[in-house]
Structure 1
Amino acid sequence: MNYDLIIVGAGPAGLSAAVYAGRALLKTLLIEEYTFGGRINDTAEVINYPGFVESSGREIVDEFKKHAESFSTNDFTYGTVKTIEKEGELFKITTKRKRVFYTKAIIISTGTSSKVINVPGERELTGSGVSYCATCDADYFINKDIHILGSGDLALEEADYLSNFTNSINMIIIHDVDQFDGNAREVERIKQNPKVSFTWNSRLEKIIGDGKVESLVLYNSKEDEYSTVSSDGVFIFAGMTPNTDVVKGLVELDDGGFIKTDEMMRTSVDGIFAAGDVRRKVLRQIVTAASDGATATVFAERYIRNRGIV
């Protein structure tokens, strides 16, 4: 089947791109691998998206999706894109289930996944006390004593959310005392939370357990010593890994695996654009992802029309 535009990934960037594609009357297909909305579905509270004083990620995504679905020129499907190839003036997209689509332009908006830090015990105990998503797994830790690795915005927000379920939370932070990576508002809120304590100058070295998390080995860089602490679980918020496997070797990536683009969201390949967290950028938020999606579609449309392949 042929399309004017195919958007790969249906997070805020992809859904925003679909809205602008609908306005431009482009015949568009939006392909999502797992869940429309992406990682934002796991965000319990959003207070920094304009027009929504306080909402959940899922509620915002629902509005994005309804808007994108309101255009008759937009199609939606689930699938895993396996290959992207150029055939003449068109791109050929093949999914894991061997469905084939042709398109004049592509927007990659596949987002990111939680970074695995590869300490001993992490992979073996994932799902048995090791987690990367508070909204997904909070109810498994009711009245438990847990740890959180990280001090960025996500770690702070998730700590606050998890405190509604747990008995106690200890945050493992690599920096000196009172040095956080998150914004000031979240820092002040978490410091006032009576259930949250902090272990400074430390990193996670090992996760121990027989079928479930039982303890953690920590290394204190300031004291140059190891310690073992009891734990019912650990949430790891150590950053994000871009979902760019499908375009490796096709478009230019940076050292972290993020897609390089210009301000018009153009990649190193004519006709392929990127939007949202999957691209190299300084701020990864819903509002910037939505902006990227809009920009990508505007310039994808210009690319198509200027080449006379509509």
Structure 2
Amino acid sequence: MTKQREYYDVAIIGGGAAGLTAAIYCGRARLKTILFEKALPGGLATYTSEIENYPGFPEPIAGTELMKRFEKQAKRFGVDIKLTAIKAVKLDDAEKVVSTFRTDYAAKAVIVAAGGKPRLTGATGEAAFLYDKGISFCATCDAAFYTDKTVLVIGSGDAAIEEAMFLTKFAKRVKVSVIHDEGILDANEVAKEHAFANDRLEFIWNTMVHEFKGEERLTQVVLKNIKTNELIPVDVDGCFLFIGYLPDTDLYQGQLNMNSRGYLPTNEHMETNIPGVFAAGDVRDKVLRQVATAVGDGAIAGVTAERYLAETAYFEQQIMGDNKLTLVYCWNPVDPLCRTLMGDVERLKDKYHEKLKVVVVDMYKSTKIAERLGITQAPAVALINNRQVCYRSGAPAVDIGGVETEIAATCSE
């Protein structure tokens, strides 16, 4: 089967807070943008029943509602949203390719905002009951199914405790397996206070999952006391895992640099090791993973992608795209030496105007174009002939005489 091929300026992988924010910025910049999300737009934020720390919302807001607003805003700026899984990516060429089952999407820039995937316990029997067979990762999504039933929550962090309290609005009984000693939770102080005051929560201290049991669906979770090794069978109608997340970066192995835990290192511009590929949100190697920080990442990635495309177009059209011999002068207008050398550059431009094109690059605003020419410091010059750098001169001083000799020799050929 021959695959279809579609073309975009920017492809964004992941429709959580980071991906949707990047999409808003790219769409608003009039870039042809496509966003891929394998589930529903909103990502992990939709798993949260109440978000209380996102600026601008003095009252708690459901994660699903907040993300619907993000999605609506992205669509208003013309972003195409495809609810489909990515099968493969090829990122190391100038034209990047994001492949689904039926279609290859070519893009000039890619933003990886794939988020995280729930961490599993690794206990016996777990795989048989994932998702719709008794083990869940989203209280907001599945709480209603467990109305008047008994559920077990695994974990003691913010997500675990907050979602356990949300489940008490539906379930008859909510039990919480905590690996720590009695009274110790990893959640914030407000969540702890509310949890200990909720008489529908029952804590099982010093425990971790030993085995999941059942026939068609999960019916029992066997916990193990980590101090006494006692096995504690807990009859349940369902189990919710909130023990953290892993970055969803398997697809990028061998292409993007990642740390030992699978997170993608970036600089402050969200740039990865591949030009034109950016990372934002929970896939990044960073300190804090919240909706607010994902939004910041997405905004930076969107703006940086826009600048990358503009600089690429300028580089190809103005520097590499002319048949004329091209002199590129990289300068910093606040530097006295750079201003002095500008007079020499203007003289060369006037003298060889019929055969020489002069392009001035302001490194005070951005160093990216200069870096494509192998220049990292102003002042510097590069001579381009047939899309190749045939001469370069720079720090500590530009050899104007050498530049003119090279120009004269090339023009006389």
Q: Do the two structures share a fold, i.e. TM-score over 0.5?
A: yes
Q: Secondary structure at the match of 2:266?
A: coil
CA distance, structure 2, for counterparts of residue 75 and residue 231 of structure 1: 42
Is 1:115 matched with 2:109?
no
Determine which of 67, 72, 96 is the counterpart of 1:66: 72
**Which digits, 9 at most, give the CA deviation of each residue in 1:110-158, with x for residues without a partner?**
1112122221122212323322221222123222222111011111111
Identity %: 38
Determine which of 283, 290, 293 is the counterpart of 2:288: 283
CA distance, structure 1, for counterparts of residue 260 and residue 291 of structure 2: 24
Q: Secondary structure at the match of 2:89?
A: strand
Q: Relative to structure 2, which stretch is displaced further, 123-132 or 282-291? A: 123-132
Q: Secondary structure at the match of 1:295?
A: helix
In structure 2, the residue matched to 1:57 is: 63
Is 1:229 matched with 2:260?
no
Correspondence 1:1-310 to 2 at 5 A: 1-52=6-57, 53-72=59-78, 74-86=79-91, 88-97=93-102, 99-126=103-130, 127-308=132-313
Higher-Rg structure is 2
From the superposition, tell whether residues 164 and 102 of structure 1 become closer, same or farther in structure 2 (CA, over 3 Å): same
Task: Output the amino acid matched with 1:22.
Answer: G
What displacement does 1:232 show? 2.8
Q: Which 5+ residue runs of structure 2 have no aligned equivalent?
A: 1-5, 318-413
Q: Relative to structure 2, which stretch is displaced further, 144-153 or 30-39? A: 30-39
Task: Output the amino acid matched with 2:124.
Answer: P
Aligned residues, how many?
308
From the superposition, tell whether residues 254 and 192 of structure 1 become closer, same or farther in structure 2 (CA, over 3 Å): same
From the superposition, tell whether residues 128 and 6 of structure 1 become closer, same or farther in structure 2 (CA, over 3 Å): closer
What displacement does 1:88 show? 4.6
CA distance, structure 1, for counterparts of residue 91 and residue 225 of structure 2: 51
Q: Given the two structures, how large is their TM-score scaled by the length of structure 2?
A: 0.71
Q: Relative to structure 2, which stretch is displaced further, 202-211 or 136-145? A: 136-145
What displacement does 1:216 show? 2.3
CA distance, structure 1, for counterparts of residue 104 and residue 234 of structure 2: 52
CA distance, structure 2, for counterparts of residue 58 and residue 120 of structure 1: 33
CA distance, structure 1, for counterparts of residue 84 and residue 174 of structure 2: 38
From the superposition, tell whether residues 227 and 78 of structure 1 become closer, same or farther in structure 2 (CA, over 3 Å): closer
CA distance, structure 2, for counterparts of residue 87 and residue 179 of structure 1: 47
Q: Which 5+ residue runs of structure 1 have no aligned equivalent?
A: none
Structure whose residues are more often helix by fraction: 2
CA distance, structure 2, for counterparts of residue 148 and residue 169 of structure 1: 7
Task: Output the amino acid matched with 2:206.
Answer: N
From the superposition, tell whether residues 272 and 118 of structure 1 become closer, same or farther in structure 2 (CA, over 3 Å): same
Task: Output the amino acid matched with 1:102.
Answer: A
What displacement does 1:287 show? 1.0
Q: Relative to structure 2, which stretch is displaced further, 196-205 or 41-50? A: 41-50
What displacement does 1:87 show? 6.9
From the superposition, tell whether residues 169 and 79 of structure 1 become closer, same or farther in structure 2 (CA, over 3 Å): closer
**Which digits, 9 at most, give the CA deviation of each residue in 1:48-102, with x for residues without a partner?**
1111222111211121112112224x333233222222475221222122x1222
Give RMSD over aligned pairs: 1.8
Q: Secondary structure at the match of 1:181?
A: coil
What displacement does 1:203 show? 0.7
CA distance, structure 2, for counterparts of residue 112 and residue 171 of structure 1: 23
